[in-house]
Structure 1
């Protein structure tokens, strides 16, 4: 039994917005007989096969209709209240229509949306071709998120919204430095996703282009008109299969975020992805309005090895090879973006990205990654020894990096006694570290998105002497118990597990079991929170990925939604509102089942307060930890401030400069404390952020290395506690 990594469920095959879908001229798009049958099969599977009870009634119809509205027009920018009222019957009748495969009415609703979308793009193009004179003075502001706003009463109300959006797009381009006459500047203020931070003006000391000129009004109008023409061309290519996917995924997505209808073409791509034979960069992507955002990186993949791409970065353009044209992917459907990024092993791809931490969306960065395949060797566990001093004495702690729970299934099924697996590799690394006389071991599972369930079970068995590891409850309420059946342990000394928000599925099962057994400390951040199991089944047309079961810890607590809470928490720059199960719509709830009987190996929770106090003392004196805390506070502050953007050029500059000054001051404060040279601009800090460590430190950034080092210190505190005995306690379970 294997686990789907959470990012993989929303990655290459996530549902994309219809503003990104490619349409069939002015002809109405109609359902097919294959689509009608697929609808009947999907709804029957949801009703009788999903983990959660699904009742097909008016309430469910309302959820599906609202979900479809969000997928089509999340920012309430195309449809009016009257448009939606015309199809009010779908709010109560959609369940019956989908059950019977009667899709004509819902296709008609989509066709209305398609008309509104095409008309709006044509409206924008017409205004731009008339060479509008944008006035960047005055006090106008533009709201950045209208998801919860009322629907517009009229087209004239939407016209005013789009007038300001177009003005914002022009202002953003006017403030962005031009690269050359034949290299397009990417407009990052796209149609449905208005930039949430102010644009940065070109440095007056730096020429904007080869001729030292800012971009002209004429060129701005042409750039935007070309962009909207390109998007209109893609929209007009939308076909019946695209619409069917939206309708059926509105249905599946109204129950949980991991159930999904896969069209025949997407199903084939999913099979390739699950076999890890896809040649590309090893980045899992998801739709973020009209942006494509990096959800996570495949451990050992080209993107992770390069150190240049990070979770929550947004991709705005893709170029093939060293000199291929940069193609804007803003507003492009997700599977099209993936096709542009894919390519033969050894070839190069250039990505223009908005870094996750960027406070200035016009200052994009172009990176280059060499495509490759991901093999077991790339994901293999590795180890190192970190030395630290206590009162003049040297102490040694081992760190084992576990990027994924992998196994060579083919070799295993063929009976090869030397088959490769994460558990076997970790066992060998433990022996190596024991020979080096380490006083404790830190298992680093940051970024570990999961893998094979059997590996999570067997790896727990390296640290306990037989016992249960996880409970799996199916839709009928039947609970299966999985665990380690091998006698003996590979290591019974002080242990810690380091996790972060990207640790998911199997890594959450492992961390939860170690915590429940009292076998070690859990350090870092709250994990992803994906505690559900999906199965993939064939339909007469396409495939269905359906949530069929749920994971529970041996303590009875689900790993769903809440994940695993660390015993000692570290600050994090990953926004839990953007990454994690709780950030997904209709995530299934956290709950409990009956705990099972299991042996307690220790009571580390008794020492957490004492260990946390020592950690706080070190963290207050650690510039990197102080930086992380303040940076997280700044991110929250900026998000609260940026609910609107100014359409006044000078005000826009002032807002940007104020935020950039705070970021720069914080970074230079960290540098001074570390004895590093200060930097002049925030752009310099972003450039340097790409310069990660060497291979001996697993290419960790200084911030990541600080978390590793502090985990070593905490574990050493734990190991040196008077009377701390591992592996002998028979005490009561953790409260």
Structure 2
């Protein structure tokens, strides 16, 4: 971790704002005071939970505000916290009455401290860096639980380490890049010696133009100063209100007028970009999910939990975005359809920020057709011959609302498209169907209800409980079903909201099996309310399965668990601050279609046998275990260059050994570098992403056989 670590989606916003207008220019406006009162009223009278804006809440909100401002305890002093300790019992009154002067004053104190630090950094660069990168110094990665520094001397010591770490990261990145380049040139089959020499001359020219480490860091810090000097009262108000609402739950957010406009654009799916949802993660911007059918997903070079540290346009120089506000990074990534954006990323699995790589994505517009359900037939070879299993991939729960509201007969929707795919698979004489809901982040609730109706004969789907405890029941009202054969639903950590409702209902009805990894756990409902300035996205209700269990926080637990490709510590409801907890309500009356769970012991045992023998499943399980162990061990980084490289290399050697063990078992060429492993499975006969799908088809065949009363042979 290098510089400017804070918390929450507005961490980057906090970093924007230092040397700028005087306090008078940052005073809250009448409209902002009015909006604060409206937000307080919304929280008190509109939120799902029973909220009291009292002294207890004030203490939590004050702490959350400090976490948003300075979550890594790197700017403010203990004396600063003491000076504003009155807010720990009066922040509630400040918001309720719109008296925002004191919270704004705390921000100004923070602003002064950040400005001092940036100027300190630039002064050190003026003197010239004289770091030797030896010795036994280490830098703690997460200081969120550390005590506040007591004086400037402690801050100077901390920032000396941070500056040294930033310089070391650049030095190692450059050394690694040069080594990769040299290896590539050594392995390249050049057409002629003249061509080699010309290429070498070109590379030398590029190297001559490369900035020194001091120049790169100076550009970074001066750029941050230029951006933060644009601070205005709206930015401070946005930061404060986001801290206030974030104290309640992670999905209750204040949205400024600009953010409201961006939200509307995203909801219409008319945004031209890469099709990735981003969130602030301390000083970094992190990929939270990929839009199904979007450019990033199609390119296969970006994954959830990846951190974006640089953005470049076409052939232009990549701009470092560490410490930059989230909306600025989003603006840099957006662009016209057909243009190319270059991203410098640190893969989510990487344990050190020196392990970056550059990827290219061609921008495009996400269309409804790109999210449409599609089917295929998977052939499974067994002792008694080939078996055909149908697979329907459902990327999202969508509906063409405009066409539907206009009364069109041929409007597109998930349910209609899935129905067509079922009919196609019937003609293929499949023995069962796997519904693939992996990476399906939800969408239209009505489509989750109506799609369930393709597999059951009318009945409830989900219970929705509001703040007053009133429960509304939603479900399928059409009689009859389209498909009543063997069914398996495949989910993963990125299956959320409507996907969880559908999978949970299939599980509760006993209509089929749910396999995969635990789902996201997004079990709350939000509405948008207009304010004097902007809007508030407010959690108003909670989803409950027909069994009475909530999908909130825990998600849907599959009947048969697969190892997850996504780290649950980084992605998912349980990884978010102040997430609402799991609970339950009374179950409703519904028809039981079967009891697949009576076969779980034998199904799990047969799955276990296949997984033990399958290189991809073996790899996924061991990778998940290794990632957890490395994460627990990786609490600090060495500031000794050779020690840092050795520690990083040791971790990557373990990861590479796992990857090459898998590749060897599949008859593939081993890789020389772990960082280059992403995207290599496209040419594989059995890519990692296909392993869960193929195993889901195997489980379906076992399930179908058990339902039919057929016994397994001993050697199967």
1:22-71: CA deviations, max 9, x gaps? Answer: 55625122211111111010001100110101101111001111111111
Q: Output aligned runs, 1:143-154, within 5 Å.
A: 143-154=140-151
Following the alignment from structure 2 to structure 1, what is the Cα–Cα distance between the partners of residues 498 and 312?
35
1:255 aligns with 2:248: yes
Q: 1:126 aligns with which of 119, 123, 127?
A: 123
1:708 aligns with 2:703: no
Does the Cα contact within 8 Å between 1:178 and 1:215 map onto a contact in 2?
no
Following the alignment from structure 1 to structure 2, what is the Cα–Cα distance between the partners of residues 18 and 651?
35
Following the alignment from structure 2 to structure 1, what is the Cα–Cα distance between the partners of residues 506 and 82?
54
1:410 aligns with 2:402: yes
C-alpha distance 525-722 of structure 1, shift in aligned 2 (>3 A): closer
Does the Cα contact within 8 Å between 2:21 and 2:231 map onto a contact in 1?
no
C-alpha distance 137-50 of structure 1, shift in aligned 2 (>3 A): same
Following the alignment from structure 1 to structure 2, what is the Cα–Cα distance between the partners of residues 114 and 617?
59
1:270 corresponds to which residue? 263
2:387 corresponds to which residue? 395
C-alpha distance 224-255 of structure 1, shift in aligned 2 (>3 A): same
Does the Cα contact within 8 Å between 1:248 and 1:261 map onto a contact in 2?
yes
Question: How far off its partner does 1:249 sit?
Answer: 1.2
1:21 aligns with 2:21: no
2:593 corresponds to which residue? 601
Question: How far off its partner does 1:722 sit?
Answer: 5.2
C-alpha distance 518-488 of structure 1, shift in aligned 2 (>3 A): same
Of the structure 1 ranges 660-669 and 552-561, higher mean CA displacement relative to structure 2 is found in 660-669
1:188 corresponds to which residue? none
Question: How far off its partner does 1:205 sit?
Answer: 5.8
Q: Output aligned runs, 1:58-69, within 5 Å.
A: 58-69=55-66
1:556 corresponds to which residue? 548
Following the alignment from structure 1 to structure 2, what is the Cα–Cα distance between the partners of residues 202 and 390?
44
1:376 corresponds to which residue? 368
| SS at structure 2 position matched to 1:686 | coil
C-alpha distance 420-118 of structure 1, shift in aligned 2 (>3 A): same
1:491 aligns with 2:483: yes
1:291 corresponds to which residue? 284
2:38 corresponds to which residue? 41
Following the alignment from structure 1 to structure 2, what is the Cα–Cα distance between the partners of residues 451 and 236?
39
Q: Output aligned runs, 1:606-685, within 5 Å.
A: 606-685=598-677
C-alpha distance 167-561 of structure 1, shift in aligned 2 (>3 A): same
2:135 corresponds to which residue? 138
Q: Output aligned runs, 1:1-16, within 5 Å.
A: 14-16=9-11
2:440 corresponds to which residue? 448
Aligned length: 686
Question: How far off its partner does 1:657 sit?
Answer: 2.0
Question: How far off its partner does 1:633 sit?
Answer: 1.4
Q: 1:347 aligns with which of 324, 330, 339?
A: 339
| SS at structure 1 position matched to 2:678 | helix
Question: How far off its partner does 1:165 sit?
Answer: 1.1
Question: How far off its partner does 1:355 sit?
Answer: 1.6
Q: Given the two structures, how large is their TM-score scaled by the length of structure 1? A: 0.90
1:541 aligns with 2:533: yes
Following the alignment from structure 2 to structure 1, what is the Cα–Cα distance between the partners of residues 556 and 259?
32
| SS at structure 1 position matched to 2:677 | helix
Question: How far off its partner does 1:20 sit?
Answer: 3.3
1:461 corresponds to which residue? 453
Q: Output aligned runs, 1:165-204, within 5 Å.
A: 165-177=162-174
Q: 2:220 aligns with which of 221, 227, 243?
A: 227
Unaligned runs of 5+ in 2: 1-7, 186-199, 711-716
C-alpha distance 24-266 of structure 1, shift in aligned 2 (>3 A): farther
1:310 aligns with 2:310: no
Following the alignment from structure 1 to structure 2, what is the Cα–Cα distance between the partners of residues 482 and 61?
38
1:187-217: CA deviations, max 9, x gaps? Answer: xxxxxxxxxxxxx987886799934999999
2:680 corresponds to which residue? 688
Following the alignment from structure 1 to structure 2, what is the Cα–Cα distance between the partners of residues 429 and 217?
54
Does the Cα contact within 8 Å between 1:529 and 1:559 map onto a contact in 2?
yes
Following the alignment from structure 2 to structure 1, what is the Cα–Cα distance between the partners of residues 497 and 708?
35
Question: How far off its partner does 1:386 sit?
Answer: 0.6
1:74 corresponds to which residue? 71
Report which of the two has the higher share of helix: 2
Following the alignment from structure 1 to structure 2, what is the Cα–Cα distance between the partners of residues 608 and 658?
40
1:112 aligns with 2:109: yes
Q: Given the two structures, how large is their TM-score scaled by the length of structure 2? A: 0.92
| SS at structure 2 position matched to 1:158 | helix
Following the alignment from structure 1 to structure 2, what is the Cα–Cα distance between the partners of residues 279 and 216?
33
Does the Cα contact within 8 Å between 1:263 and 1:542 map onto a contact in 2?
yes
Question: How far off its partner does 1:18 sit?
Answer: 4.0
Question: How far off its partner does 1:280 sit?
Answer: 1.1
Does the Cα contact within 8 Å between 1:21 and 1:242 map onto a contact in 2?
no
Does the Cα contact within 8 Å between 1:525 and 1:565 map onto a contact in 2?
yes
C-alpha distance 160-377 of structure 1, shift in aligned 2 (>3 A): same
Question: How far off its partner does 1:357 sit?
Answer: 2.2
C-alpha distance 23-648 of structure 1, shift in aligned 2 (>3 A): closer
| SS at structure 1 position matched to 2:329 | helix
Following the alignment from structure 2 to structure 1, what is the Cα–Cα distance between the partners of residues 689 and 539?
34
| SS at structure 1 position matched to 2:109 | helix
C-alpha distance 24-237 of structure 1, shift in aligned 2 (>3 A): farther
1:592 aligns with 2:589: no
Does the Cα contact within 8 Å between 1:396 and 1:437 map onto a contact in 2?
yes
Does the Cα contact within 8 Å between 1:504 and 1:530 map onto a contact in 2?
yes
Unaligned runs of 5+ in 1: 1-12, 180-184, 186-199, 695-700, 726-735
Question: How far off its partner does 1:19 sit?
Answer: 4.2
Following the alignment from structure 1 to structure 2, what is the Cα–Cα distance between the partners of residues 459 and 213?
56
Question: How far off its partner does 1:114 sit?
Answer: 0.4
1:569 aligns with 2:561: yes
C-alpha distance 692-341 of structure 1, shift in aligned 2 (>3 A): farther
Of the structure 1 ranges 273-282 and 438-447, higher mean CA displacement relative to structure 2 is found in 273-282
1:731 corresponds to which residue? none
Question: How far off its partner does 1:693 sit?
Answer: 7.3
| SS at structure 1 position matched to 2:272 | coil
2:323 corresponds to which residue? 331
Q: Output aligned runs, 1:90-105, within 5 Å.
A: 90-105=87-102
Of the structure 1 ranges 658-667 and 124-133, higher mean CA displacement relative to structure 2 is found in 658-667
Following the alignment from structure 1 to structure 2, what is the Cα–Cα distance between the partners of residues 668 and 452?
42
Following the alignment from structure 1 to structure 2, what is the Cα–Cα distance between the partners of residues 383 and 658?
43
| SS at structure 2 position matched to 1:377 | helix
Does the Cα contact within 8 Å between 2:389 and 2:697 map onto a contact in 1?
yes
| SS at structure 2 position matched to 1:145 | coil
Does the Cα contact within 8 Å between 2:21 and 2:232 map onto a contact in 1?
no
C-alpha distance 426-693 of structure 1, shift in aligned 2 (>3 A): farther
Following the alignment from structure 2 to structure 1, what is the Cα–Cα distance between the partners of residues 180 and 383?
52
1:286-329: CA deviations, max 9, x gaps? Answer: 00111111100111111111111111111111122x22332221
| SS at structure 1 position matched to 2:407 | coil
| SS at structure 1 position matched to 2:424 | helix
Question: How far off its partner does 1:170 sit?
Answer: 1.3
Following the alignment from structure 1 to structure 2, what is the Cα–Cα distance between the partners of residues 333 and 41?
26
Following the alignment from structure 1 to structure 2, what is the Cα–Cα distance between the partners of residues 396 and 375?
31
Runs of 4 or more consecutive aligned structure 1 residues displaced over 6 Å after TM superposition: 200-204, 206-209, 212-218
Of the structure 1 ranges 510-519 and 155-164, higher mean CA displacement relative to structure 2 is found in 155-164
